[in-house]
Amino acid sequence: MPTRTNRTNWFLKDRFGMFIHWGLYSIPSRGEWVMTAEKMCKEEYRAYFDEFNPLNYDPKSWAKAAKTAGMKYAVMTAKHHDGFCLFDSKLTDYKATNTRGQRDLIKEYTDAFRAEGLKVGLYYSLIDWQHPDYPHYGDRHHPMRDNPAYRNTKHDFDNYLKYMHGQVRELCTNYGKIDILWFDFSYDQMVGEKWKAAELITMVRELQPDVIIDNRLEASGEYAGSIRTGNPSFYAGDFASPEQIIPPEGITDEKGKPIPWEACITMNNHWGYSSTDKNFKSPKLIIRKLVECVSKNGNLLLNVGPNAKGEIPQESLAVLEKIGSWLKQNGDSIYNCGKAYLPKPEWGYYTQKGNILYAHIFEGSIGPLAIQGLNGKVKKIRLLADNSEMKPLKPWNTMDYNDYIFINFGKPEHLTYPLPNEIDTVVALELEDI
């Protein structure tokens, strides 16, 4: 059986992926938690099932957009908390193949993304607001949590677990090689062995020995679980999954050893499609946050929320295109890179691959840019975008700073010049043996 180190080897190289939240909630377009946020009963929510017919769903175009953006893998919601399945589960009628669309949306997704050379992941919610045996009244998240009509309802949770495990088996059996299985999420008493997590992971490892699994069988976006301890549980996961935050210092275990991690981030302020949420993050911000993740040995999983027609919003596509343009020139500083041996500089970040140190310069300087700790240690310097030669400088006004090398983007060397790329100018420094 592959170890966590072997399983995550590709993950730590690829660094950038696409999250896709899509389902019935794209119709009300008020986010993926709309059912519980508005305390909708199943009958009220059923109207969206009856209407769902994404005529413009073209996963080939989604895959091309992801590849153009420089993404290397994707994770798509096979089932979210509302219980609706985008795959052709034999264990429920509440699935895409029974809607007006009559399509196995996950099959089309996996085929399309693999065809573009991208690795495929599946998101599966441990929570299910549709299933009659998932706890209703008193559960912190269920839409019927406060409805007294469910106060004395009995639920056979073992029957729900049989259903849930059975669906995970279907996903691990019917859709070819799965690269990521992204469970979501644990809370309160609904954690670990409440899900029969050891049994579940044993099954998954038998069916998909190389798949990497997140940490949310015992954790959530709020906390990481035992993956950060010196004695992680059997179901602690292969990587941590901080949500809507980039950890201030990355993620390590108790001994300071790096743990694989991936920050999942929305492009606006919702995971699922929201027609009124136009607060999209800029390409500049996302690129810089991708750099920050890699500088801390982490990945970035950037979300898109397609609409009810099956279309990725144009605002998202425009952002993805600009990210891809930057990565086309500067991707060597992201892929297969990680934390540098030097501390973070005040003007940006470092990433590193072997003896190549990448200086990600966010802020210009007055006069030449100072790089500390590299005097006499650099073999050559190149502007990564075009591989043009740069030379370490020693202008007349730097004689007091012997531990530094200086670089600049014009002549005379001691004057101030604009950065070649205002988002992130990347300079590759090939070091002597370190």
Q: 218: domain CATH number?
A: 3.20.20.80
Query: End of a domain among 273, 305, 333?
Result: 333
Determine, yes or no, domain membership for 299: yes
Determine, yes or no, domain membership for 341: no
Determine, yes or no, domain membership for 212: yes
Do residues 274 and 362 both lie within one domain?
no
- 337-388 pLDDT, tens per residue? 999 999 999 999 999 999 999 999 999 999 999 999 999 999 999 999 999 9
Do residues 240 and 167 both lie within one domain?
yes
Do residues 322 and 370 both lie within one domain?
no
* Measured CA distances, 396 to 55, 392, 399, 402 (Å): 66, 13, 6, 12
Q: What is the pLDDT of residue 156?
A: 98
Cα(96)–Cα(23) distance, integer angstroms: 9
Mean pLDDT of 49-68: 98
Residue 201: CA count within 13 A, CB half-sphere: 22
The sheet carrying 180-184 orders its strands as: 212-213, 180-184, 119-125, 73-79, 16-20, 298-304, 261-265
Confidence label for 27 from pLDDT (cuts 50, 70 and 90)? very high
Contact 106, 113 (CB under 8 A): no
Given a cut of 90, whether residue 434 has pLDDT beyond it is no
Cα(300)–Cα(314) distance, integer angstroms: 21
Q: What is the pLDDT of residue 102?
A: 97
Determine, yes or no, domain membership for 34: yes
Which CATH number fits the domain that encloses residue 391? 2.60.40.1180
Do residues 260 and 371 both lie within one domain?
no
Q: What is the pLDDT of residue 433?
A: 75
DSSP, res 96: G
Determine, yes or no, domain membership for 343: no
- 252-294 pLDDT, tens per residue? 999 999 999 999 999 999 999 999 999 999 999 999 999 999 9
- 62-95 pLDDT, tens per residue? 999 999 999 999 999 999 999 999 999 999 999 9
Task: Residue 111: give the domain boundaries.
Answer: 4-333
Helix runs in 245-339, H state only: 283-295, 314-330
Do residues 208 and 287 both lie within one domain?
yes
- 307-347 pLDDT, tens per residue? 999 999 999 999 999 999 999 999 999 999 999 999 999 99
Question: Exposed, middle or buried by CB within 10 Å (0-12, 13-18, 19+), for 178?
Answer: buried
Q: What is the pLDDT of residue 163?
A: 98
Q: What is the pLDDT of residue 52?
A: 98
Do residues 271 and 142 both lie within one domain?
yes
* DSSP assignments along 197-243, one per residue: HHHHHHHHHHH-TT-EEBSTTS--SS--GGGGSSS--TTS-SBB--B
Do residues 46 and 158 both lie within one domain?
yes
In percent, the amount of the chain with pLDDT more than 70 equals: 100
In percent, the amount of the chain with pLDDT more than 90 equals: 97
Do residues 357 and 416 both lie within one domain?
yes
Cα(306)–Cα(150) distance, integer angstroms: 34
Do residues 315 and 377 both lie within one domain?
no
Q: Based on the structure, what is the number of domains in the chain?
A: 2
Q: What is the pLDDT of residue 261?
A: 98
Contact 101, 54 (CB under 8 A): yes
User: SS3 for 164?
Assistant: helix
Among all chains, which residue has been given the structure tokens 């069988």? 217
Mean pLDDT of all residues belonging to the chain: 97
Do residues 290 and 364 both lie within one domain?
no
Backbone phi, then psi, for 259, in 5-degree steps? -115, 135
